[in-house]
Amino acid sequence: MGGRAVSHAPLEELTSWDADWSGLRVVVAGLGLTGFSAADTLIELGARVVVVDGTDSAENRARADTLRIVGAADVLLGPDGAEHLATVDGGEPELVIASPGWNPRHPVLAAADDAGIPVWGDVELAWRVRGRAGRKSAEWLVITGTNGKTTTVGMVESMLRAAGLRAVAVGNVGTPILDAIRDPEGYDVLAVELSSFQLHFTHTLSPLASVVLNVAEDHVDWHGSPESYLAAKAKIYARTRVAAIYNAEQRETERMVEEADVVEGCRAIGFTTGVPAPSMLGVVEGLLVDRAFIEDRRTSAAELASLEDLGEAVPRHTAANALAAAALVRAYGVEPRAVRDGLRAFDPGEHRIQAVARRGDILWINDSKATNPHAAAASLGAFSSVVWIAGGLSKGVEYAELVAAHAARLRGVVLIGADSSGLREALRRHAPDVPVIEAGVRETGRETTPESGPTRGRAVMVDAVAAAAGMARAGDTVLMAPAAASMDQFASYAHRGNAFIEAVRGLMGDHTT
């Protein structure tokens, strides 16, 4: 395709805010928070921008109006605009920015790949523009994993702030990373949560320290295979400069570090919920200890915190997350006292093994963030007798191993989700004596309500909570840990969790915790 002449530097030279971005033709795929921040940044840099998004909503139209006001941007909303690779200023784009969640097989991204046009994510763009004359350039501590990312990035942020540093959690959680990069005051450190989607489109990131918390089958539908999913996760270790941190209890993460092309001098640091070897962090007699970032690590350990600093009855995976967070900040140079103070100040938030109510010696737990079998396994393993509310959008994963491992602790199961056939079949095969009820379905097989979408989801959750109450006995835990995504019946995992909380409160009146 033709197009007007441009004056920007070659893409490989666009490695700072002060590089010559003027006239670069860019398509931004997606107009959510991430896509908006990417488009806004590129406009400020002087690029020519076209944004495409398949959803023509009032929110997207408002964002489009804002972009048109601040600079040179065209916005194409609706299915027609997102079916093919748009032109920019009458010419083929030279770069595409993909919002998280946009599948590489999407027509826009597939067309870019076929044409040999580079595709970056917002994280790649942020890394390239992080350096700016006259402003502080923050160090990056980066976190990924199948589960525990948001908890760990929050712990890192809390520890850094306890050390007196200006820090913020960004990326797949909280503040869009490009907004943090453009903050006028700047930051000392960014705690960066990265999903496998974001890592797929990241190419030159070189963080101070990195960690893969854990890996389990997830997002197979997006990546195409378990191997591709793991490969995306492993990209986080590439070019790490100081510490590549791995889960010593999961060989897959250690292998990722062994195979990573890190900067010379980068150390491999393990974490374990058992007694740590040298160059590891771990647990000794209820204490979180460091045998990695101390001088005499062969014969001694530095006390960082106690398990009690994390709260009561700490699940194993929470201790693991705290150790991973501690390893990241210790790699930066944070003192042990700030690790402890940060953990004490940390608020884990809602929807992650959240106690909702206790009545008649029955505990009700909301773990709506357990969106895959690995996360649900961590929840199920924390309780001895469970009425399990589960099901939803499976994302192509298998449930046999999960059900087989925890069948003995199941009092009963209540299924939610538009199609929970995979989970139902796993229960039939591996927990045949456990009673199973499908929420929203009576003995006639007819649904209790005709609504769809969010309203339907609320009605199903009310039914699920009532069914679980009928199954539960004194000493049981009613655990809503779906092991599946929420979008089939709810707007998000938070919407699903709130529906559970509301249904429990409706059942019990004021007897909630």
Determine the length of the chain. Answer: 513
Amino acid (1-letter code) at residue 117: I
DSSP one-letter code for 46: T
Structure tokens at 140: 């990056």
Pairwise CA distance, residues 412 & 389, whole Å:
9
Domains and CATH numbers, the chain: 23-117 (3.40.50.720), 125-345 (3.40.1190.10), 354-506 (3.90.190.20)
Binding-site residues for ATP: 145-151
Query: Which residue in the block uniquely carries the two structure tokens 């379905």?
Result: 441
pTM value? Answer: 0.75
Q: Tens of pLDDT along 217-260?
A: 666 666 668 888 899 999 999 999 999 999 999 999 999 999 99
Instruction: Work out whether the CA dihedral 483, 467, 380, 343 comes out positive or negative.
Output: positive
Backbone angles phi, psi at 474, to 5 degrees: -55, 135
Alpha helix segments (H runs only) across 46-91: 58-70
Q: Hey, what's the torsion of the CAs at 293, 296, 301, 304, to 10 degrees?
A: -40
3-state secondary structure of 342: helix
Q: What is the mean pLDDT of residues 341-345?
A: 96
Give all strands (DSSP E) within 215-346, no chain letters.
Answer: 243-247, 267-271, 280-284, 287-290, 302-306
Q: How many CB atoms lie within 10 A of CB 65?
A: 11
Q: What is the DSSP string of 396-440?
A: T---HHHHHHHGGGEEEEEE-SS--HHHHHHHHHH-TTS-EEETT
- Residue ranges of the annotated binding site are 145-151
Please give the C-alpha separations between residue 200 and each of 95, 146, 236, 261, 419, in angstroms, as whole numbers.
16, 14, 10, 16, 29
Are 321 and 343 a contacting pair, CB within 8 Å? Answer: no
- pLDDT tens for 419-470 read 888 999 999 999 999 999 998 753 323 333 334 444 457 889 999 999 999 9
Rounded mean pLDDT of 259-283? 97
